[in-house]
């Protein structure tokens, strides 16, 4: 019995202390205003952070697919998506017109200086992070193939319970 209690304690400790929270990092709005990503990550909502770029075809496909489901997800799960472009300072002029033409309904931010990307230590995009209501990273996914949005929805649904 003592061994079982010890195993249970270790497992729960890993669950509680093994979660990584989103780091404090400065990103910018498309109007150039600086914001800390934690303002979005620690808002009491389930938050999806998706890193993308205008030149990344799979990124745009992922965000298009999520945009089709976004209103439903917001209503059902009290969640928010923040799409963070990795476009360079020079390429940022393309972002706003593209977002407007796509009609993406989510928050769009820029990490042109790659501060957040470096803090999260990932290499490829699209890169998606799912955060719980306290801002802890509970799931991450790299790349996109059609249908990945439904896997993400299942993860969101599990958090919303």
CA 65 to chain centre: 15
Cβ count within 10 A of residue 143:
13
**Domain containing residue 120: CATH number:** 3.40.30.10
80 within some domain: yes
16 in any annotated domain: no
**Any domain includes 147:** yes
Q: 123: buried, middle or exposed (CB in 10 Å: 19+, 13-18, 0-12)?
A: exposed
Alpha-carbon distance of 106 to 101, in angstroms, equals 13
The pLDDT, as a whole number, for residue 17 is 40
Q: Show pLDDT as tens, one digit a residue, over the chain (161 residues).
A: 554 444 444 343 334 445 688 899 999 999 999 999 999 998 899 999 999 999 999 999 999 999 999 999 999 999 999 999 999 999 999 999 999 999 999 999 999 999 999 999 999 999 999 999 999 999 999 999 999 999 999 999 999 86
Q: Considering the domain boundaries, does residue 104 fall inside one?
A: yes
**pLDDT reported for residue 42:** 85
pTM of the model: 0.86
Residue 4 forms part of a structural domain: no
Number of domains in the chain: 1
Q: Is 111 inside any structural domain?
A: yes
Instruction: Give the residue numbers spanning the domain of 42.
Output: 21-160
């Amino acid at each position: 019995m003592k061994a079982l209690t010890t195993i249970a304690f270790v497992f729960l400790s890993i669950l509680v202390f093994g979660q990584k929270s989103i780091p404090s990092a400065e990103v910018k709005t498309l109007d150039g205003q600086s914001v800390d990503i934690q303002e979005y990550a620690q808002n009491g909502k389930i938050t999806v952070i998706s890193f993308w770029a205008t030149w990344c075809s799979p990124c745009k496909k992922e965000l298009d697919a999520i945009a089709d489901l976004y209103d439903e997800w917001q209503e059902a799960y009290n969640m928010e998506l923040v799409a963070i472009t990795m476009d360079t300072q020079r390429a940022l002029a393309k972002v706003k017109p593209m977002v407007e033409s796509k009609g993406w309904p989510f928050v769009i931010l820029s990490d042109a200086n790659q501060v957040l990307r470096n803090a999260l230590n990932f290499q490829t995009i699209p890169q998606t992070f799912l955060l719980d209501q306290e801002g802890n990273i509970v799931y991450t996914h790299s790349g996109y193939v059609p249908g990945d949005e439904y896997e993400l929805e299942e993860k969101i649904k599990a958090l919303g319970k």
